[in-house]
Amino acid sequence: MQREHNEDKISKACQLIGGSNDIHYDMKEAAAAVNMGYESFRKLFIATTGLSLQRYHIEQLMKQAKMMLLSGLPIKHVADSLGYGNIYSFTKQFTKAEGISPGRYNRNRQG
C-alpha cells in the first residue's frame, strides 16, 4: 500500500515538473505539493524513476523545446519561453541534452 502511495506521489510530481515550462522551477514546490520533505522526495524520485529531479526536468523542457522548434518558433522565443536567460545558455543545454544544436535540429526536421 505504501509503495502505491509513493508511486502516486511521484506520478503527481512528474506531472507538476513536466508541466513547468521554466528552467528555474523550484523542485521544493513539487516536494511540498506531494507533502514530502525535499530530501525524502528527492531520494524517492530517483528510486522510482531512475532519474535525478534535475535530469527529469531538463528532459521535459527539451521535449517542450523540440515541439516549439518544430512548430516554427524562433530559437530565441523558445529560449525565452522556457526561462533561459539568453539564447546561448539554452543552445548549450539543448545541444548537451540532444546531441545537436537547436538550429541544426530545425534544419534536420525541415529538410
How far is it between the farthest Cα atoms of the chain? 51
Fold equal for 2-57 and 61-110:
yes
Three-state DSSP state, 19: helix
Q: Looking at residue 85, what DSSP letter applies?
A: S
CATH architecture designation of domain 61-110: Orthogonal Bundle (1.10)
Contact in structure between 53 and 60 (CB atoms under 8 Å) = no
Domain boundaries, the chain: 2-57, 61-110
pLDDT tens-place string over residues 66-92: 999 999 999 999 999 999 999 999 999
Q: Considering the entire predicted model, what is its pTM?
A: 0.89
Start-to-end CA distance of the chain, whole Å, equals: 51
What's the pLDDT score for residue 111? 54
What's the pLDDT score for residue 2? 76
Contact in structure between 61 and 23 (CB atoms under 8 Å) = yes
The CATH T-level fold of domain 2-57 is Arc Repressor Mutant, subunit A (1.10.10)
pLDDT tens-place string over residues 33-78: 999 999 999 999 999 999 999 999 999 999 999 999 999 999 999 9
